[in-house]
Amino acid sequence: MICPLLSALRKQDCVEAKCRFWTHLLGRNPQGDGVVDKFGCAIEFLPILLVENAQMIRQTAASTDKVANQVQKSRAEFIGALSTDAQKRLLDADPHVKQIGRTGDNL
Protein backbone atom coordinates (compact mmCIF):
# COMPACT_ATOMS: atom_id res chain seq x y z
CA MET A 1 0.00 0.00 0.00
CA ILE A 2 1.30 3.47 -0.89
CA CYS A 3 1.11 6.06 1.91
CA PRO A 4 -1.12 9.02 1.00
CA LEU A 5 1.05 11.36 3.08
CA LEU A 6 4.47 10.18 1.99
CA SER A 7 3.44 9.81 -1.66
CA ALA A 8 3.22 13.60 -1.97
CA LEU A 9 6.97 13.76 -1.50
CA ARG A 10 7.93 10.47 -3.13
CA LYS A 11 6.15 7.18 -3.52
CA GLN A 12 6.87 5.21 -0.37
CA ASP A 13 5.25 2.17 1.10
CA CYS A 14 3.14 2.57 4.21
CA VAL A 15 5.10 2.08 7.42
CA GLU A 16 1.90 0.82 9.09
CA ALA A 17 2.29 0.41 12.86
CA LYS A 18 5.18 2.88 12.97
CA CYS A 19 2.93 5.68 11.68
CA ARG A 20 0.84 7.86 14.03
CA PHE A 21 -2.06 7.66 11.57
CA TRP A 22 -2.20 3.85 11.81
CA THR A 23 -5.31 3.07 13.80
CA HIS A 24 -7.87 0.40 14.57
CA LEU A 25 -11.38 0.96 13.25
CA LEU A 26 -14.02 -1.10 15.04
CA GLY A 27 -17.74 -0.63 14.61
CA ARG A 28 -20.66 -0.92 12.22
CA ASN A 29 -20.38 0.00 8.57
CA PRO A 30 -22.76 2.96 8.01
CA GLN A 31 -23.20 1.94 4.37
CA GLY A 32 -24.12 -1.67 5.10
CA ASP A 33 -24.99 -4.16 7.80
CA GLY A 34 -21.49 -5.51 8.29
CA VAL A 35 -19.12 -4.98 11.16
CA VAL A 36 -15.84 -3.19 10.47
CA ASP A 37 -12.83 -4.49 12.38
CA LYS A 38 -9.60 -3.55 10.67
CA PHE A 39 -6.34 -1.73 11.08
CA GLY A 40 -5.48 0.94 8.56
CA CYS A 41 -4.60 4.51 7.84
CA ALA A 42 -6.81 7.18 9.41
CA ILE A 43 -6.73 9.04 6.08
CA GLU A 44 -8.18 5.95 4.41
CA PHE A 45 -10.99 5.79 7.00
CA LEU A 46 -12.08 9.43 6.57
CA PRO A 47 -14.86 8.80 3.97
CA ILE A 48 -16.56 6.13 6.05
CA LEU A 49 -16.25 8.23 9.22
CA LEU A 50 -17.72 11.26 7.46
CA VAL A 51 -20.73 9.20 6.34
CA GLU A 52 -21.22 7.93 9.90
CA ASN A 53 -20.93 11.46 11.28
CA ALA A 54 -23.54 12.77 8.83
CA GLN A 55 -25.95 10.02 9.86
CA MET A 56 -25.48 10.81 13.55
CA ILE A 57 -26.09 14.51 12.92
CA ARG A 58 -29.33 13.75 11.06
CA GLN A 59 -30.53 11.49 13.88
CA THR A 60 -29.67 14.08 16.51
CA ALA A 61 -31.47 16.83 14.58
CA ALA A 62 -34.58 14.66 14.25
CA SER A 63 -34.56 13.88 17.98
CA THR A 64 -34.13 17.54 18.87
CA ASP A 65 -37.04 18.46 16.62
CA LYS A 66 -39.27 15.86 18.30
CA VAL A 67 -38.40 17.17 21.76
CA ALA A 68 -39.03 20.78 20.69
CA ASN A 69 -42.45 19.84 19.29
CA GLN A 70 -43.37 18.00 22.50
CA VAL A 71 -42.30 20.95 24.67
CA GLN A 72 -44.34 23.34 22.52
CA LYS A 73 -47.38 21.04 22.73
CA SER A 74 -47.06 20.68 26.52
CA ARG A 75 -46.71 24.43 26.97
CA ALA A 76 -49.80 25.04 24.84
CA GLU A 77 -51.78 22.50 26.89
CA PHE A 78 -50.63 24.18 30.10
CA ILE A 79 -51.67 27.62 28.89
CA GLY A 80 -54.99 26.23 27.67
CA ALA A 81 -55.67 24.75 31.11
CA LEU A 82 -55.23 28.12 32.84
CA SER A 83 -58.18 30.33 33.61
CA THR A 84 -58.77 33.32 31.31
CA ASP A 85 -57.47 35.72 33.97
CA ALA A 86 -54.32 33.64 34.51
CA GLN A 87 -53.76 33.44 30.73
CA LYS A 88 -53.98 37.22 30.46
CA ARG A 89 -51.48 37.72 33.29
CA LEU A 90 -49.10 35.18 31.71
CA LEU A 91 -49.37 36.81 28.28
CA ASP A 92 -48.68 40.23 29.78
CA ALA A 93 -45.69 38.97 31.77
CA ASP A 94 -44.07 36.85 29.01
CA PRO A 95 -44.37 38.13 25.43
CA HIS A 96 -42.91 34.86 24.07
CA VAL A 97 -46.05 33.01 25.10
CA LYS A 98 -47.95 34.84 22.34
CA GLN A 99 -46.01 32.82 19.78
CA ILE A 100 -48.05 29.73 20.55
CA GLY A 101 -51.37 31.44 21.14
CA ARG A 102 -53.60 31.59 24.18
CA THR A 103 -54.92 28.05 23.93
CA GLY A 104 -52.23 26.44 21.80
CA ASP A 105 -54.23 26.54 18.58
CA ASN A 106 -51.24 27.87 16.63
CA LEU A 107 -48.99 24.80 16.97
Phi/psi at 102 (5° precision) = -70, -35
Is residue 106, in this structure, part of any structural domain at all?
no
Is residue 20, in this structure, part of any structural domain at all?
yes
**How would residue 100 be classed by pLDDT, with cut points 50, 70 and 90?**
low
Mean pLDDT of 82-100: 73
The confidence score (pLDDT) of residue 10 equals: 65
**How would residue 84 be classed by pLDDT, with cut points 50, 70 and 90?**
confident
Is residue 56, in this structure, part of any structural domain at all?
yes
Q: What is the pLDDT of residues 34-73, one digit of tens each?
A: 888 999 888 888 988 898 899 999 999 999 999 999 998 9
Is residue 76, in this structure, part of any structural domain at all?
yes
Above pLDDT 70, what percent of the chain? 80
Full residue range of the structural domain in which residue 63 is found: 6-100
Answer yes or no: is pLDDT of 80 > 50: yes
DSSP-derived pairing of the beta strands 22-28 and 35-41? antiparallel
Give first-to-last CA distance, the chain, whole Å.
57
User: CA-to-CA distance for 14 and 43, rounded, in angstroms?
Assistant: 12
Q: How many CB atoms lie within 10 A of CB 14?
A: 19
Residue 31 burial (C-beta neighbours within 10 Å; 0-12, 13-18, 19+): exposed
pTM over 0.85: no
Tally of domains within the chain: 1
User: CA-to-CA distance for 79 and 54, rounded, in angstroms?
Assistant: 38
Mean pLDDT of 80-94: 78
User: CA-to-CA distance for 60 and 56, rounded, in angstroms?
Assistant: 6
